[in-house]
Structure 1
Amino acid sequence: MLVLLVFIIFFHIVSAALLFIATIDNAWWVGEEFVADVWRICFNNTNCTEIGDTFQEFSTLQAVQASMILSTILCCIAFLVFLLQLFRLKQGERFVLTSIIQLMSCLCVMIAASIYTDRRQDIHSGNPEFYDMTTDGRYGYAFILAWVAFAFTFLSGLMYLILRKRK
């Protein structure tokens, strides 16, 4: 049982790390001369422009930003709730609250990545100086990590739902 518990804790920490990297790192959409994410756009790795109200599709990016931040916060809260429930629950009870919070985190990261996938072309062509970005780029590793984090948080949520506290 101890090995299973260590595996679940490690899996949850990896999920949280993936969410942090996907939320913070500037590699959701990359090209030869630029990198972009939901926070800023950088040309030649030196000329960075913060994404703000000047962009036409800023409300879409705000939804992606909020969903990624919320998913990261919920994942951390789920871990703390798990640790509390580990010592408070009676034997044989399930970690239902932890599972619900982790599945909400999974839903938030799925919403963020789905919005970005659907509206990426609109987001990066909202400003005339960035028109080349929509055709010359590709999805970056942080975007892929967001989808991997979705799978990890989903599996983690299911593991908590199935897991019973045993000796």
Structure 2
Amino acid sequence: MLVLLAFIIIFHITSAALLFIATIDNAWWVGEEFFADVWRVCVNSTNCTEIDASFQDYPTMQAVQATMILSTILCCIAFLIFVLQLFRLKQGERFVLTSIIQLMSCLCVMIAASIYTDRREDLHKNNLGLYALTQNGNYGYSFILAWVAFAFTFISGLMYLILRKRK
């Protein structure tokens, strides 16, 4: 049982780390001369433009930002509740709340990555003429990490439901 708990703790911490990296790092959409994320667009690593109200589809980008932040916060809260429930509740009652919060984190990261996938072209249109440059690119590793974090948080949430009945 201790090995299983250690695995779940490491898995959960890995999920949180992936969410932090995907939320913070500037590599959701990358090309030869630029890189972009949910916070800014950088050309040649020196000319960075913050994503603000001047962007055409700013409310959609705010939705992506908010759901990524919320997923990261929920993942961290789920871990704290897991540690508290580990020693406080009796068998059969453990980890249900942790599982629910972790699955909510999973849902939030899925929503953020799905919105970004669907609206990526609109998200990088702005008044600064960067659209022509950012049109030719590929999804970056932060975007991929967001989808990997989705899978990890989903699996973690299911593991907590399964683990609640173990002694």
TM-score (norm 2): 0.96
Match of 2:131 in 1: 131
Q: Is 2:95 the partner of 1:121?
A: no
Match of 2:153 in 1: 153
Runs of 5+ in structure 2 lacking a partner? none
Q: 1:130 deviation in Å? A: 1.5
Match of 2:54 in 1: 54
Larger mean Cα displacement after TM superposition, 151-160 or 134-143: 134-143
Larger mean Cα displacement after TM superposition, 118-127 or 61-70: 118-127
Q: Deviations over 1:106-144 (max 9, x none)?
A: 000000000000000011123351222453110000000
Cα distance in 1 for partners of 2:139, 2:56 equals 21
TM-score (norm 1): 0.96
Identity %, equivalent residues: 81
Q: Is 2:7 the partner of 1:3?
A: no
Match of 1:18 in 2: 18
Q: Deviations over 1:63-89 (max 9, x none)?
A: 000000000000000000000000101
Match of 1:27 in 2: 27
Aligned length: 167
Cα distance in 2 for partners of 1:33, 1:138 equals 12
Stretches of 4+ moved more than 3 A in 1?
Answer: none
Runs of 5+ in structure 1 lacking a partner? none
Cα distance in 2 for partners of 1:65, 1:18 equals 15
Match of 1:74 in 2: 74
